[in-house]
Amino acid sequence: MASIHIEAKVGDIAETILLPGDPYRAKHVAETMLTDAVCYNKVRGMLGYTGYYNGKRVSIQGSGMGMGSTAIYVNELIETYGVKNLIRVGTCGAIKTDINVGQVILAMSASGDSGANSAYFGSMHYAATADFELLQKAYEASKRLKINTIQGSIFSTDTFYDSDPHRWDKWEEHGILGVEMESQILFTLAKRLNAKALSILTVSDNIRTGEAASSKDREQSYMDMMKIAFELA
């Protein structure tokens, strides 16, 4: 039986899944880092694959951009396909001047402006956090692989473009490291649906300094992030 947006049969998707926003990034990673990879989903072009990494079965699924799209795939992956561990692998913009492009961040928590969060909790504010066990394993894996990581809080937003030059001031003052568009709803739904979630992010640009990664630098740092994520399979 398939879900609405994923055509895979139950059993086609591994218990641990990586979630890049870009489906073509999922395709590239499946073709270059997995063995015996099989494409289980092409609905709406949101590609998903299951294969093996160092003998361990793992899936990788595009989730689209933003919390609305991410929520659809997270719900269906957990509720229909029984996925237990969901790991976002994506990019973020740093809002601290001392964080360099290419830095890998292990997100401990995600503040944000998700409309879904307001719908679920009304005037109250839910603290969306990563699963500690996955976070600890990712940190230990980064040490083994000699990949430098920063552990801390991020912000997930529904709006990519904004004209307010001081938008991020209060968030930086409260320790937020970077901004992206998916982790808050991922953490919230994983807790609600009794699964484990983590976000591993590569800094693609620094919002404060205007620094941005070249395509070559972005590819290398992205591969560092993927190596950590696959160790959790």
Q: Would you state the pLDDT for residue 218?
A: 67
* CA–CA distances in Å: residue 210 to residues 52, 58, 194: 38, 36, 39
Q: What is the pLDDT of residues 54-87, one digit of tens each?
A: 999 999 999 999 999 999 999 999 999 999 999 9
User: What does pTM read for this prediction?
Assistant: 0.96
Helix H or strand E encompassing 205: strand 196-206
Q: Would you state the pLDDT for residue 125?
A: 92
Residues acting as catalytic residues: 205
Q: What is the pLDDT of residues 80-119, one digit of tens each?
A: 999 999 999 999 999 999 999 999 999 999 999 988 888 9
Domain boundaries of the chain, sorted by first residue: 16-231
Q: Which amino acid is at 205?
A: D
Q: CB neighbours of 96 closer than 8 A, spacing ≥ 6?
A: 172, 177, 178, 208
**pLDDT for 233 beyond 90:** no
Q: What is d(CA 139, CA 152) in angstroms, rounded to the nearest whole number?
A: 12
Question: In CATH, what number does 16-231 get?
Answer: 3.40.50.1580
SS3 74: helix
CB 136 within 8 A of CB 106: no
